[in-house]
Structure 1
């Protein structure tokens, strides 16, 4: 809390490699928030409702049911923490697919896995990544849509300071009390690798130096055949998020 004011607990959700890590790290020093990346869901349930905390995409906990596309049960979460603020961050499917390749190629290392992930293991890597993106952003987002605030990776990259101010507004945090911290976080968030860019800690092992930009990296990473394969799996869901899907014409 700042003074005697209470702020809601926060959970950052979304498909892997869609900005969940760097977005989550916004809370690692923002006002009174204490941040943790991917704690077990049971640990989230054990937290105090009156403490000021934020987490990113919790891990499944044994004995707890999960909703399709999520790593936990939304009903159980809301029954325990009714005041929690959920954020869902989405990224252009072709950029996310480009970035998902390392983790999905390593025994489908991104979680939660689609329930049919093993049936996709003999499919091309791009198709596996496309299926992961599509499943999480349809079933997972569909489950939390009514209670989560939707934000976009592209907005965060293009104007990180404005993005951070918007998050403060949603939470009721006074930005003037966090000005220095917000500027410091925003300086990390870059479309290109440069002296200011600082990658999220949990993302560093999943990166490739095979692209010069983060928005539109698919133009450097995916072939026309890759794009056609991904389009069949993701285009309907991409349009639901208002992404232009005329990809092959670009």
Structure 2
């Protein structure tokens, strides 16, 4: 049996990286690790399918700004790796980023100029974080990464997971029970089936009913304009439309 390729899941925090990563925790024969040290990534047994979500930054393994690890070193260890970059509408992502960014810019990797933004409003700090990672980080992997969307995952998780299996040449029917369990967890609003990803729970705020278009519940029109002024160009390059004035 041919081993499924190694997988690296990347993206800005609070964009679905955690719940997307947990898709691999039980999929086929994958060994899944969330935010491992990069030493663990390098030492992994690649005779088995390995999946990682955003390795932690390390002074031992310096990276170019926008990524938390040196991409070339990872590809030396896993030359056939598949990379996925998940993106979320910046207006919704900023709403979710507030908890972590308010804690001394607790989301990683940090933009190199993050300290220069600490005097700016929290909303602006979050927008800068989203914009930098989805521009400078994604640019480093764009030639080989598959770009996937938070909104597609939330809207139809089973179709989304089947598409990921197709990318990796994994038979979804052989993993039907696992995919069904994962899909039931992925909800646009809280209900009895929704189970948040383990590593996301400390960053949640009970201030919204939905995940797609959450910004309409959380942001003023002035905040929407400020975010779009910072992140709009990158957002539009990634396929998001400018918000309609007055729709917040």
TM tier, smaller: over 0.9
1-structure distance, mates of 2:112, 2:171: 42
Matched with 2:235 is 238
Map 1:84-95 → 2, pairs under 5 A: 84-95=81-92
CA distance in 1, matches of 2:123, 2:211: 18
The aligned counterpart of 1:105 is 102
**Match of residue 159, structure 1, among 156, 159, 163:** 156
Partner SS for 1:155:
helix
Aligned length, in residue pairs: 247
Q: Is the 8 A contact 2:65 2:136 kept in 1?
A: yes
Report the TM-score when normalising by structure 2: 0.98
Matched, 1:149 2:181: no
* Matches of 1:213 and 1:186, distance apart in 2: 17
* 1:7 to 2:7 alignment: no
Which residue of structure 1 lines up, in the alignment, with residue 127 of structure 2? 130
State whether residues 221 and 246 of structure 2, in contact with CA within 8 Å, keep that contact through their aligned partners in structure 1. Answer: no
TM-score (norm 1): 0.97
**Separation in structure 1 between the aligned mates of residue 180 and residue 145 of structure 2, nearest angstrom:** 25
Q: In the TM superposition, what whole-angstrom CA distance separates every residue of 1:55-100 from its partner, at most 9, and x where no partner exists?
A: 1000012221202200011111111210111100000000000000
The equivalent of 1:212 in structure 2 is 209
Supply the distance in 1 between the matched residues of 2:32 and 2:63 (Cα, whole angstroms): 23
Which residue is equivalent to 2:19?
A: 22
CA contact (8 A) 1:11 1:85 kept: yes
2:58 counterpart of 1:61: yes
CA distance in 2, matches of 1:71, 1:46: 17
In structure 1, the gaps of 5 or more residues are none
Distance 2:146 2:39 in 1: 23
| CA distance in structure 1 between the aligned counterparts of 2:76 and 2:92, rounded to whole angstroms | 35
Which secondary structure state, in structure 2, belongs to the residue aligned with residue 248 of structure 1?
A: coil
Q: Compute the displacement of 1:249 (Å).
A: 4.6
Q: Tell me if the contact between 2:7 and 2:83 (Cα under 8 Å) persists in the aligned partners.
A: yes
Kept after mapping to 2: 8 A contact 1:18/1:153: yes
Query: Structure 2: how far apart are the matches of 1:129 and 1:247?
Result: 21
* Unaligned segments of structure 2, at least 5 residues: none
Deviation at 1:113, TM superposition (A): 0.4
Superposition deviation, residue 47 in structure 1: 1.0
Q: CA deviation at 1:49?
A: 2.3
Alpha-carbon shift at residue 5 of structure 1 (Å): 2.2
